[in-house]
Structure 1
Amino acid sequence: MPEATSVGTDWRLLGCDYVRAFITNDKANQRLMEAHPIELSVSIGRLAFTVTEQVFFPMVFGVETHCSYRAVEYLRRRDPEFAAAWVHRIRYRRQGLGLTMRPISRSRYVSAEIARMLCRSWAHRHDADEPSVLVCDIVPAILEDLCSGLCHPCEHPTDP
């Protein structure tokens, strides 16, 4: 974790590692990352916000991040499920800014939500009602793809 707070590290990648450890039940790595609860909570919040914006909303609801405010507001009023997901998005944003209480329990809860969002997005993409594979099998693979696409050599990392 000290390396994570150094300059040049994207905090969302730490969130990916934590979610991977959480899903695969890797208690040693999970406890190691939980030794720094505030930094962990911020990284999980930033990852959850990114997953919501870049994966979950486009796949499940067909809403892109550059969609107009009117389209989003219309969907929020028509679809209660989207409205609830939008409220969660706001919570993830607040967590990514470091504005949460009980950071370890919140990090665990949001890690499970990230896994659910990724599984639901996968099921929606593959036209499956229920994923036929285990969460611990599919989420690490999706996280690997997501992490490889998070940081590009030309972009600056997120600030701590």
Structure 2
Amino acid sequence: MRKTPEAPSGTDWRLLGCAYTKFLITRDQENQHLLERHPFDLSVSIGRLAFVVAEEIYFPRTFGVETHCSYRVVDDLRRSDPDFGVAWLQRVRYRRQGLGLTLHPIRRSRHVAADIARMLCSSWAHQHQAGESLVMVCDIVPAMLSDLCTMLCHSSEYPTDS
């Protein structure tokens, strides 16, 4: 089994996932291919980012399920809502990919980056009560990814004693 790469101190792998997703959505193929030079590191980054997006953004906004919800609530929703069941299984796949357990890392990274964009669009549409067909991926996702990068940067900084 491949050892999961660890980021150099101070680096958050999810930021690499944000950059790759943005390049994929905006069709910046030069930078996209540059990041694909290290396929396993990219795959881990995208998996970790997808897991965070699913847990922190997609499930709370789309299904009303918080990350610290009881298993009983999640299981009841999984049984009653087929869309939630499918999304929950995808979440498990993202977690496995974030641990470095994936075949065909470039193809999987592209697929998961598209899933991230879809989850962000769906979350935005639910939050703003807009029809999902009215939301253009290229319009809203880069802005949401920038906000997510800002949030990740601030959450990973060490507190100061000021």
Tell whether the structures are fold-level matches, with TM greater than 0.5: yes
Q: Which one of 149, 154, 158 corresponds to residue 158 of structure 2?
A: 154
Give the counterpart of 2:102 among 81, 100, 103.
100
Equivalent position of 2:11 in the other structure = 9
Counterpart in the other structure of 1:66: 68
Tell me which amino acid in the other structure corresponds to 1:102: H
Following the alignment from structure 1 to structure 2, what is the Cα–Cα distance between the partners of residues 52 and 134? 20
CA deviations over 1:17-61 (Å, ceiling 9, x no partner): 000000000011000000000000000000000000000000000
Are 1:40 and 2:64 an aligned pair?
Answer: no
What is the CA-CA distance between 1:148 and the residue it aligns to?
Answer: 1.1
Aligned AA (1:62): G
Q: Which residue of 1 aligns with 2:143?
A: 141
After the TM superposition, which of the residue ranges 36-45 and 71-80 deviates more from structure 2?
71-80
* Structure 1 residues not aligned, in runs of 5+: 156-160
SS in 2 for 1:66: coil
Identity %: 64
User: After the TM superposition, which parts of structure 1 deviate over 3 Å for at least 4 consecutive aligned residues?
Assistant: none
How much has 1:154 moved relative to structure 2? 2.9
Structure 2 portions without partners, runs of 5+: 1-5
Say whether residues 1:28 and 2:33 are aligned partners.
no
Q: TM-score, normalised by structure 2?
A: 0.90
Structure 2 match to 1:56: 58
- Letter matched to residue 37 of structure 1: P
Distance, in Å, in 2 between the alignment partners of 1:131 and 1:67 is 30
Secondary structure of the 1:7 match is coil
The alpha-carbon deviation at position 131 of structure 1 amounts to 4.7
Render the CA deviation track for 1:66-86: whole Å, top value 9, x for unaligned.
111111111111111101000
State the SS of the aligned residue for 2:132: coil
Report deviation, 1:147. 1.3
Name the stretch that deviates more: 101-110 or 124-133. 124-133
TM superposition shift of 1:5: 3.9
RMSD: 1.4
Partners in 1 of 2:46 and 2:90 — Cα distance? 13
**2-structure distance, mates of 1:56, 1:64:** 10
Q: Is the 8 A contact 1:119 1:131 kept in 2?
A: no
